[in-house]
Chains A and B, each alone.
Chain A
């Protein structure tokens, strides 16, 4: 029985998304987004060297090569950064283009070896279903699907087993160090998982989509929750949703599959950023303007008290004049303080403070 190629492609995309989005949570929390960018590109060098060495794209040498060049990238960045003088982002910006560029040069020399730069950047998920794995000449499905499935098990185990260690070394490195929980070792293990994920995912979807899946769903999840465990679940879910919607859109609009998936993940992030329940732009803006209104209310009420204390009369108009606020806004505030019974109007149309109003002022000044 043959699995339809649509389902295979969606399956591969979903696995890439889940792998990247789970490990990506720790990259985002450790402020290492740029590092994932660097690793995702620099693995090319290791992949190409491995392909040359064994004369083909066998998964295991390719993964080993990619991971080694990923570790080389991290180490070189740390070396430059620790040597003083250079900032971390500059160190990253120096190291990975260099390693990537050497990879590109080697690729163009490849000749008969089946690999090219186009494939590396944009991936070739469209053709993944045709790269089948055979067991005793029996087609057991797409090779990528198998490799990604094993990787998913590895990533879930890694996060599951070292959850506590990852959490503490991310949140408070010095405490982890003091407790003997070796944050540096945890850091390098995480980098190995990032590099492995990058190499494997890269084979199917290319460098750009890998970075998108590492960073974008995790960032959206960060805006949606206050718990690390929920952030992991949300990040993976958003990654999978982006992959599925992205695929459907690509088929309908007849555009690049990886491009479409990356765009959809960006779009989802945008929606969360604007409409997110607590940390979204709108709800933050609402909160701030509400607080702003409270402050203005305090200013108006204390102003009225001061004016009445020196026997001057206060109305909406004098508020606008003395506080330098627009007539409309002063009128709105004046109406509000009357509705709330903080003030009453006397026969001349001037304000007098009520007991409720005085109490409100006390709340402000305390």
Chain B
């Protein structure tokens, strides 16, 4: 019996890439996320939806320790994030960096490899080649020498995706990568992500357009400070749950 339960334990651990338990995040005294229990299953395209200020970005930032956790814990493949950094790639919101920075598209993609290089080791011809490959995957080979501010919004977003690809991770956490991009970019991004999912990678995306949720994703997390629900699109992406998620004010359920 003991054996059985431990077996069950390990199988559940294998199923999930990220396990979130009792997670609360507060900014000063303002609660951003309240007592969240959640897991991201492997090999799924997962959408995080919810109104503005619901804590969607905070949720993926908390996974990576980019915001201080007030309570609870997060594990990535059964370990704290700090032990599994190289398994997670992150695509921040486009507005989070200074696009006037003196650097070109290829250079930004190469930054995705800095984590693997570790302290002090310099980028080399190998990292350059990987970066080139990744830029090619998102269809931007011709723009590798372009200063990043001179790229269109969609191209900038694809550069960010290429950088995440260069990280060669198991989990891709993305903060609104489809926000304000052109049709070609949206298609490119989705087909690349679909390929990653087929390889068994987990894609977690903060997503704003509710109309496309059931078309693009197979799993959804609905959040409004509290976790409303999460699960396969077919089961949980219902009008009733959407109403609960987008209610004007969510009371904290304690």
Contacts and interface: CB of A to CB of B under 8 A. Distances in A.
Interface in B101-117: 101-104, 108, 111, 114-115, 117
Interface string B46-76: 0000000000000001001110000000000
Interface stretch (B92-100, B179-187, B225-233): B92-100
Contact of A174 (B90, B102, B104): B90
Given A161-B120, A172-B111, A177 B102 contact: no
A170 B122 CA distance: 17
B111 A168 contact: yes
A194 interface: no
Contacts of B104: 226-227
Contacts of A176: 114
B39 interface: no
B28 interface: yes
Contacts of B102: 29, 222, 225-228, 230-231
Nearest to B88: A178
Interface residues of B, number: 28
B7 interface: no
Contacts of B85: 178-180
A78 to B, nearest CB: 16
A225 B101 CA distance: 10
A171 interface: yes
A181 B119 contact: yes
A164 B120 CA distance: 8
Contacts of B28: 84
B88 to A, nearest CB: 7
B92 A175 contact: yes
A116 interface: no
A170 B121 CA distance: 18
Interface in A170-203: 170-172, 174-181
A152 to B, nearest CB: 21
Contacts, number: 71
B123 interface: yes
B92 A174 contact: yes
Given A29-B101, A174-B96, A179 B115 contact: yes
A163 B120 CA distance: 8
Contacts of B61: 174
Nearest to B61: A174
A327 B79 CA distance: 74
A168 B114 contact: yes
B26 interface: no
Interface in A67-91: 84
B115 A163 contact: no
Given A84-B28, A178-B64, A164 B101 contact: no
A344 interface: no
Given A161-B120, A226-B104, A181 B92 contact: no
A145 B21 CA distance: 60
A356 to B, nearest CB: 28
- Interface bracket on A: 20 to 34
Main secondary structure of the interface of A (DSSP, over half): helix
A221 to B, nearest CB: 9
B147 interface: yes
A48 B64 CA distance: 44
Given A164-B114, A226-B102, A172 B82 contact: no
A165 interface: yes
A171 B122 contact: no
A172 B103 contact: no
Contact of B147 (A168, A178, A180, A226): A226
B122 A164 contact: yes
Interface string A1-45: 000000000000000000000000000010000000000000000
B90 A178 contact: yes
B64 A181 contact: no
Nearest to A230: B102
Contacts of A163: 122
Nearest to B28: A84
Nearest to B81: A178
Given A225-B102, A226-B102, A172 B96 contact: yes
A29 B97 CA distance: 11
A172 B123 contact: no
B92 A171 contact: no
Interface string B8-28: 000000000000000000001
A227 B111 contact: no
Given A164-B123, A168-B114, A228-B103, 12 more contacts: A163-B122, A164-B114, A164-B117, A167-B103, A175-B111, A176-B114, A178-B64, A178-B115, A180-B82, A181-B119, A226-B104, A228-B101
30 contacts: A29-B102, A162-B120, A164-B122, A165-B114, A167-B111, A168-B111, A171-B97, A171-B98, A171-B108, A172-B92, A172-B111, A174-B66, A174-B96, A175-B90, A178-B65, A178-B66, A178-B85, A178-B88, A178-B90, A179-B115, A181-B114, A181-B115, A222-B102, A226-B102, A227-B102, A227-B103, A227-B104, A228-B103, A230-B102, A231-B102
Interface of B: 28, 61, 64-66, 82, 85, 88, 90, 92, 96-98, 101-104, 108, 111, 114-115, 117, 119-123, 147
Interface of A: 29, 84, 161-165, 167-168, 170-172, 174-181, 222, 225-228, 230-231
